[in-house]
Structure 1
Amino acid sequence: MLGIGFVCIVYSLGVGTNTAENHPKLTWKNSGSTTNGEVTVDSNWRWTHTKGTTKNCYDGNLWSKDLCPDAATCGKNCVLEGADYSGTYGVTSSGDALTLKFVTHGSYSTNVGSRLYLLKDEKTYQIFNLNGKEFTFTVDVSNLPCGLNGALYFVNMDADGGTGRYPDNQAGAKYGTGYCDAQCPTDLKFINGIPNSDGWKPQSNDKNSGNGKYGSCCSEMDIWEANSLATAVTPHVCDQVGQTRCEGRACGENGGGDRFGSSCDPDGCDFNSWRLGNKTFWGPGLIVDTKKPVTVVTQFVGSPVTEIKRKYVQGGKVIENSYTNIEGLDKFNSISDKFCTAQKKAFGDNDSFIKHGGFRQLGQSFTKGQVLVLSLWDDHTVNMLWLDSVYPTNSKKPGADRGPCPTSSGVPADVESKNAGSSVKYSDIRFGSIDSTYK
């Protein structure tokens, strides 16, 4: 028994002591009661270095060949460090508001974007069961141009960040471990409590990222993906309920395989007003005016859920979601299995949402419980054109026109230099029974 315990300690993902981990505080309301929460930044953004020294284990988009010749040795040598939230990541909080800055020039590095999770306490993610509930927040996207995405969403992460299932993980939720989503991302530096360094290949179009042998899959509820020009709400489901590790081509497109070859639905079933035929609903000076903060209400009708409804509140008025206006598609202003099947048929898209279980599987993922993610990012793969422009760029088929941004927009080098001062502000998060959080 002593030998087994020793091995777990030697190869575990540990934490550093150079910077104290002091989580930004964030209050929110649960069924009308104020809850004192915290947020933590994802482990992918954290400094990874050797124990007791400041030597980098990961630098740029490469793992150290000497310190990380394999995952076990890498885990033995390397630790995750605490975060300077405002100085390094441009993350600040005040009361019920959280602001994420896009580019932050710190003392030792330049940081781009961030991904944070809401904590219940210092070491545990807050878990939400969305079945039959309503989730509301206020957001300011006035400072987000084409190519950026201020995303607020839920994923089936473990509440402890994976420490229970993967004893090699000593960092846990406190240090932002355990991420997964429906894209089965392989760019994660740590999966299942160990470094994802084996087979790591640097990305040619991103000086900070690469892809490893493994990916991390789970269902994902994209409540909010948006900038000032476009927005979408999109559920995604996976065959398994909870976080699972994939390998290689089984991770789908991110693992070098077919886009629809993973156990998850990568496209999801999106409701994007512009894409669905209403080009006067969302944007600067439009019905929902993105020059001003807006309160976003998402209702998960039924337990288990059978329908997702969206409302907006701005200027004291409740604004119902727009209706579809696409030839051959019935009128919808909410998401359901019926809408998803009809939308995929009208656009000629792969109906992977229904193939992976649709709302039946979504309800099961909600029952297990999901973690709230708050992020800001740019897109090194397709320049965010899937959200706010025409994608594929040469396509004329229905559904390809997703937003008003030019197809030349969103290039990361451009937005990171020209729009470095961009930011998103999330505030006044409320969770409760339907029709209880916004009136």
Structure 2
Amino acid sequence: MFAIVLLGLTRSLGTGTNQAENHPSLSWQNCRSGGSCTQTSGSVVLDSNWRWTHDSSLTNCYDGNEWSSSLCPDPKTCSDNCLIDGADYSGTYGITSSGNSLKLVFVTNGPYSTNIGSRVYLLKDESHYQIFDLKNKEFTFTVDDSNLDCGLNGALYFVSMDEDGGTSRFSSNKAGAKYGTGYCDAQCPHDIKFINGEANVENWKPQTNDENAGNGRYGACCTEMDIWEANKYATAYTPHICTVNGEYRCDGSECGDTDSGNRYGGVCDKDGCDFNSYRMGNTSFWGPGLIIDTGKPVTVVTQFVTKDGTDNGQLSEIRRKYVQGGKVIENTVVNIAGMSSGNSITDDFCNEQKSAFGDTNDFEKKGGLSGLGKAFDYGMVLVLSLWDDHQVNMLWLDSIYPTDQPASQPGVKRGPCATSSGAPSDVESQHPDSSVTFSDIRFGPIDSTY
């Protein structure tokens, strides 16, 4: 009933068949200049980190936040023994789709476990992620954040994952995009269970504040473009650059781990260059009943402008527009002392912001917008997720952060939520029915999708 593929003596990460893998469909629009759009059939796949991992006799390889010592004494043995299984998307993970709409529910009480949050990727076909080249293009979607309280993050973003999930680069990975493998981002996360087709069991330590997660020796790094991180009280869009192309398994200092005091010494810019309207001086723009009323769905337009206006040009600006109630609403204008009054992300904006806020300018050091554009040339995979924050309670998005700095200091106040808000134990118990709905994804030349 179960199969694992072995090529000679080569060990490999296989897939189980206890649960059929049926990807929820999600259509999107591919647009042309002038606004003519064609519907494209797609689907979404759940990240492998959320999936049941077991051996051929259905014994758990990973349980809670620890690996089985007998099945996973080392990476290669673990990868040989363990299978990644299919997913019951709605019953176990609270993921449902209809036409061009995708809904992610925060807490789902399934038949065998309680699931918290989720992360999915847009598929082109059963074994490949949809790849987007963003330069000189715009990406548009509609989002309903009305059911997301402080401490929650309904996120839509791009990362430079491998199109096939890593199967062509790593022969040990037989699961691939079909089972959601190959994730990476600019935080170089260490909690990824399988990286480059191998179990991340070396030096694995269960997280003390998360009963479902741990950290291994390696991290999974790649450039990340956060189009959307939001709840109903705060939102930001943020590019993060890495100096490596595509997914990269980091080790030691190149991971830039904050806990080791090396946050800015790794291959990725973990801070990024964010545009959060609240943080940039407009506290009445985004929220229930405000200019953008988060009690209602809103359409979000993000434009990636090149210096010469061509697809091959150097990325020079990231613009943001909103559409709600039949009106196009421009992004807020910066209102911070020492900064120019722009309303988009440029290299000048990032340099001025870092200086005004007293932040380390790792964005410039890692290559600025031109560096981001080079990652776009590699191709980007679309990620949609809903999560809470076991590290700092999402305060970096919607509250005062760092909490040891005065709220009056420029850049510290990022949203109206209390510093006591956002603890995962609170949001999981008090807001389990929270959800985010993404719909009407459109992609095409600038000014073609809205």
For Structure 1 versus Structure 2, the TM-score category normalised by the shorter chain is over 0.9
Letter in 1 for 2:8: F
Preserved contact between residue 186 and residue 254 of structure 1 (Cα < 8 Å): no
Q: Which residue of 1 aligns with 2:43?
A: 38
Give the corresponding residue for 2:329: 319
Matched, 1:25 2:25: yes
Q: Which amino acid aligns with 1:115?
A: R
Q: Quote the Cα distance in structure 1 between the aligned partners of 2:289 and 2:197.
A: 47
1:198 Cα deviation from its structure 2 partner? 1.2
> What residue is the counterpart of 1:392 in the other structure?
402
What does 1:226-305 align with in structure 2 at a 5 Å threshold? 226-253=230-257, 256-302=260-306, 303-305=313-315
Per the TM alignment, residue 394 of structure 1 is displaced from its structure 2 partner at its CA by: 2.1
- The reply on whether 1:434 has 2:446 as its aligned counterpart is yes
Once the 2 structures are TM-superposed, how far is the Cα of residue 254 of structure 1 from its aligned partner? 5.8
Deviation at 1:332, TM superposition (A): 1.4
Identify the match of residue 383 of structure 1 among 378, 384, 393: 393
Partner-residue secondary structure (3-state), 1:360 = helix
- Amino acid in the other structure paired with 1:24: P
Q: Does 1:343 align with 2:348?
A: no
Match of 2:205 among 186, 195, 201: 201
Is the deviation greater in 301-310 or in 282-291? 301-310
Equivalent position amino acid for 2:105 in 1: K
Q: Per-residue displacement from partner, 1:131-180 (whole Å, max 9, x unpaired)?
A: 00000000000000000000000000000000000010000000000000
Alpha-carbon distance between aligned partners in 2 of 1:291 and 1:112, rounded to the nearest angstrom:
24
Residue deviations 1:355-382 (CA, integer Å, cap 9, x gap): 0001111000111100000000000000
Aligned partner (choices 150, 170, 177) of residue 173 of structure 1: 177
Match of 2:420 among 400, 408, 416: 408
Q: What is the distance in 2 between the residues matched to 1:116 and 1:256?
A: 30
Per the alignment, in what secondary structure is the counterpart of residue 370 of structure 2?
helix
Cα drift, residue 7 of structure 1: 2.1
The Cα shift of 1:5 comes to 3.4
Q: Structure 2: how far apart are the matches of 1:313 and 1:98?
A: 19
**Which residue matches 2:150?**
146
Q: Is 1:421 aligned with 2:433? A: yes
How many Å apart are 1:248 and its aligned residue?
2.6
1:257, distance to aligned residue in structure 2 (A): 4.6
> How far has the Cα of 1:398 moved from its partner?
1.0
Contact 1:248 1:255 in 2 (8 A): no
1:36 maps to amino acid: S
Moved more, 253-262 or 345-354: 253-262
CA displacement at 1:304 relative to structure 2: 3.0
Question: 2:309 matched to which residue of 1?
Answer: none
User: Within the alignment, does 1:16 sit opposite 2:28 as a pair?
Assistant: no
Q: Which amino acid aligns with 1:404?
A: P
Asked if the contact 1:221/1:234 (under 8 Å) is kept, the reply is: yes
- Single out whichever of 37-46 and 245-254 deviates more from structure 2: 245-254
| 1:117 Cα deviation from its structure 2 partner | 0.1
1:42-90 deviation line (CA, Å, top 9, x unaligned)? 0000000002x22100000000011100001101110000000000100
Paired AA for residue 28 in structure 2: W
Contact (CA 8 Å) 1:249, 1:257: kept in 2 or not? no
Residues 89-104 of structure 1 aligned to structure 2 (within 5 Å): 89-104=93-108
What's the counterpart of residue 54 of structure 2? 49
- What's the TM-score once normalised by structure 2's chain length? 0.95
Measure, in 2, the Cα distance between the counterparts of 1:285 and 1:399.
Answer: 24
Deviation at 1:329, TM superposition (A): 1.2
Secondary structure, counterpart of 1:306 in structure 2: strand
- In the alignment, the residues of structure 2 paired with residue 176 and residue 271 of structure 1 have an alpha-carbon distance, to the nearest angstrom, of 30
| Structure 2 counterpart of 1:225 | 229
Structure 1: 5+ residue runs without aligned partners? none
- The one-letter amino acid of 2:430's match is K
TM-score, with length taken from structure 1: 0.97
Q: How many residues align?
A: 432
Deviations 1:194-229 (A, max 9, x none): 111111000000000000000011000000000000
* Letter in structure 1 aligned against 2:414: R
SS in 2 for 1:383: coil
Q: Find the residue that maps to 1:162 and give its secondary structure.
A: coil
Letter in structure 2 aligned against 1:29: Q
C-alpha contact (below 8 Å) 1:250/1:257 kept by paired residues:
no
1:370 to 2:380 alignment: yes
- Residue 6 of structure 1 is aligned with which of 2, 8, 12? 8
Q: Aligned to 2:227, what secondary structure does the other structure show?
A: strand
Deviation for aligned residue 1:255 = 7.0
State the distance in 2 between where 1:330 and 1:378 align. Answer: 34
Aligned partners of 1:393 and 1:150: how far apart in 2?
23
Shift of 1:251: 1.1
Question: Secondary structure in 1 aligned to 2:102?
Answer: strand
Q: Is the CA contact 1:248–1:257 (under 8 Å) kept in the aligned structure 2? A: no
Using the TM superposition, give the Cα deviation of residue 249 of structure 1 relative to its aligned residue in structure 2, in angstroms.
Answer: 3.1
1:67 paired residue number = 71
Counterparts of 1:289 and 1:104, CA distance in 2: 28
Structure 2, unpaired ranges of 5+: 1-5, 32-36, 307-312
For residue 34 of structure 2, what is the aligned residue in structure 1? none
Whether contact under 8 Å (1:138, 1:429) holds in the other structure is yes
